[in-house]
Structure 1
């Protein structure tokens, strides 16, 4: 893990390097540390927000701690009483875990302007049915819509009209499952989307909460449907980087996932060079990166309040990386990229049902086992033994979410 002070990052960015060895200095400022998992465009977008905060709060210096193994690093830091002031929490399961351990601190932040289910997932207490009220422990920094099938306009003269067309087509899927410590998640997202599209929010929530079997019923059918759809694309996918696979388009025909994760050329996106097919119905799988507080640092309170502000959210979505905001005050008109803005509109359409990523809602150990099983399946292991093993893991760990927890699905 690399700890980068704000002045150091300025030097690094100026040189085009994240690992510069010379700090620019800056005495007399209080420091706020924040652990983040981002690199490349995602970190660039985040750091633009950091710089804007520091300009308006000259007495506070934000020091990012960059790590690809965030869960492992944060667990170690909490166990050693060496927590960062703030940390990005990439899953609801992580929020629940650190709340249960008493590591997360309550936030004095109003999340009432965030759409559901995002505003409820970082709270505890209040109305467990709607996620309203209660104490806030995590704020959604940026959001994504996962349920999109992408294709290159020039290379796909006869695009699919809907997801129902996909099994009968002979497209080559851009499939990569390697993604560092969380390798396997692209397949997990696909399986979740197929289950959600076929069986709806109730079956989806039961599975994500640990109340449905893996080796039979909707989960088994969604798993095999994904395998049948991917076909030969599974070969070698476990060792292919997700972004590398998406970058092969149009050599391969289609990809699945968020706009932010596809790593498309930004100018070509703006020109409409890539288009997407949403899932059937009006139900979408969504995700978010949250931020939580682990210390009593007052400067951290100021920074987290800024991150949750409309000002910061509007700035963030127009940086590289195609981030979306779940803040209803950030409207489609605030997005300079119309494709990105059109996807963001899905988060604000009352007729839609938004369901938070199933793997993100599971106990982190169950998620890790899920991702591992996806990799093994891609490498040729039959789904039967893998799903039975996942049932054993789930049984050993118990339900991931209490009945009183805010719902995973909601309408904006």
Structure 2
């Protein structure tokens, strides 16, 4: 028989254990509720942001970690300001290898290295893998990539161009009396579509070695291979189209291709930059590059600016994995391609063909966009020169002299060390 005193002791013990258990649950809940990570991204378009956010939602569901997303079109300027104020986000998209180098090699390094537990560098294609590293350490993860060297057309209204060489396209445009859908306006980075196109012409005409040397600041802007690319771009697009392009946004300009009576028929650039209508309609296709032709590529990277938030490291690890990459690719309206070497499935025929171009077996050397390899100030001067050339035309040699002066004054301290190009050539 249990005595009243013993019953009281047992009851108190039960109450104490219950209270301790409740306290443990509350503490765990509070701990998981406090786990959050901030990330700054440049994806303002609904489709592009929605694709990324589908990955965020899966991560939050699986881990209980809250992701606070800061969206800005002026990412470089806003991130610089936040870093200068010693208040950076935990993570941020870095739109170029030059940005990675900038935040690693600055007077007070801001990016944190990512260890092998966070990301496996061997899981990624070149040149993206090497360009995420500085001095052998990995500082960023390539979360989405694309091919810039593509010429787009409507298969229902336009004959298929035979090749994407500048000379062949020039003849095709002239004989067909076709106009390009081109816009150069893009907020703080206005001019980039022209810079990408000029770089693509340098790559096609001068080859990978000259291209890489120019992007790294060793081949001068005044070299004939560079000046010729500017004039060939002007001749291909036409002065009237260039004049209009400085006031139009690139994505909005490509939207005109989808009109019932389009006033332009061709576009140049990455699939991710096209208007949503062109990405959703299977009739819009790109001209197949010639065998072994070098291709200009792009990539968005994620870097970590904190060393004391394990949740940030968890999110980077998640983003680097095949599951998150597949979710990103599959999201409605997504234009993402993965830099992973394994396991990503593309449902759309056009996506499959672009993804195949990014694989080593394609035989295409892949070269990162030249402007994205330059120091931020040099790239900004490049974009400004594109706008000036589109608006005013004139003597390209004077523009190149001015760009060379900028390059010389800034030097090449922040040019990434990794190989700009990968593959044969």
Change (3 A) 1:362 1:43: same
Structure whose CA Rg is larger: 2
- TM-score by structure 1 length? 0.87
Q: What runs of 5+ residues in structure 1 fail to find an aligned partner?
A: 1-25, 126-133
The question of whether the paired residues in 2 share the 8 Å contact of 1:152 and 1:275 is answered with: yes
Q: What runs of 5+ residues in structure 2 fail to find an aligned partner?
A: 1-30
Measured against aligned partners, the alpha-carbon deviations of 1:17-43 in whole angstroms (never above 9, x if no partner) come to: xxxxxxxxx982311000100012111
Is the counterpart of residue 51 in structure 1 residue 53 in structure 2? no
Q: Which residue of 1 aligns with 2:400?
A: 387
Q: Which residue of 2 aligns with 1:301?
A: 313
Q: Which has the higher helix share?
A: 2
Aligned pairs for 1:267-286 (under 5 A) are 268-269=280-281, 271=282, 273-280=283-290, 281-286=292-297
User: What secondary structure sits across from 1:181 in the alignment?
Assistant: helix
Aligned pairs for 1:77-88 (under 5 A) are 77-88=82-93
Distance 1:54 1:221 in 2: 51
Measured against aligned partners, the alpha-carbon deviations of 1:257-316 in whole angstroms (never above 9, x if no partner) come to: 0111112426753x3x01211444431100100010001211000000000001111111
Change (3 A) 1:165 1:124: same
**Deviation (angstroms), 1:400:** 4.9
**Deviation (angstroms), 1:216:** 3.0
Measured against aligned partners, the alpha-carbon deviations of 1:25-72 in whole angstroms (never above 9, x if no partner) come to: x982311000100012111000000001011101x1000111111111
Is the counterpart of residue 206 in structure 1 residue 219 in structure 2? no
Aligned residue among 86, 89, 94 for 2:94: 89
User: What secondary structure sits across from 1:248 in the alignment?
Assistant: helix
Q: Root-mean-square deviation (CA), in Å? A: 1.8
Aligned residue among 356, 365, 376 for 2:388: 376
Q: Which residue of 2 aligns with 1:19?
A: none
Aligned residue among 143, 163, 185 for 1:178: 185
Change (3 A) 1:144 1:400: farther
Aligned length: 373
Is the counterpart of residue 322 in structure 1 residue 335 in structure 2? yes
Distance 1:370 1:100 in 2: 22
Is the counterpart of residue 224 in structure 1 residue 231 in structure 2? yes
The question of whether the paired residues in 2 share the 8 Å contact of 1:93 and 1:400 is answered with: no
Q: Which residue of 2 aligns with 1:166?
A: 169
Distance 2:386 2:75 in 1: 21
Is the counterpart of residue 313 in structure 1 residue 325 in structure 2? yes
Q: Which residue of 2 aligns with 1:105?
A: 112
Distance 1:381 1:151 in 2: 27
